[in-house]
Amino acid sequence: MGHTRFTVDCAGFRQPDLATVDALLRLRLMLKRAGEDVVLENSGPQLRELISLIGVPEVLESAPSVETGQETEERE
């Protein structure tokens, strides 16, 4: 059986908190135990900062963004 990489679209996480990160860590643990992986997509700056403050940025990997919100605002 092949290795599957699951993508979690975090665009809807308006106010991420510790419960959000806890849920993502539990999902990652469950998938790792099954031999799978997870990557976060559209993780906003608040979520990335929280993940970094907790000290797990290498555990909860974020997909590279095509464009950040700051760059979008600067062009408008």
On the question of pLDDT at 10 being above 90, the answer is yes
Q: Into how many domains does the chain fold?
A: 1
pLDDT, tens digit, 9 for 90 and up, residues 65-76 = 655 444 434 434
Is residue 69 domain-resident?
Answer: no
On the question of pLDDT at 2 being above 80, the answer is no
Which pLDDT score is estimated for 1? 57
Q: Are 32 and 3 in contact, with CB atoms under 8 Å apart?
A: no
- Which residue matches tokens 């599957």? 4
Q: Can you give the pTM of this predicted structure?
A: 0.78
Task: Quote the domain boundaries for residue 29.
Answer: 5-63
Distance separating alpha carbons of residues 71 and 76, to the nearest angstrom: 9
Between these two residues, 17 and 2, which has the higher pLDDT value? 17
Is residue 73 domain-resident?
Answer: no
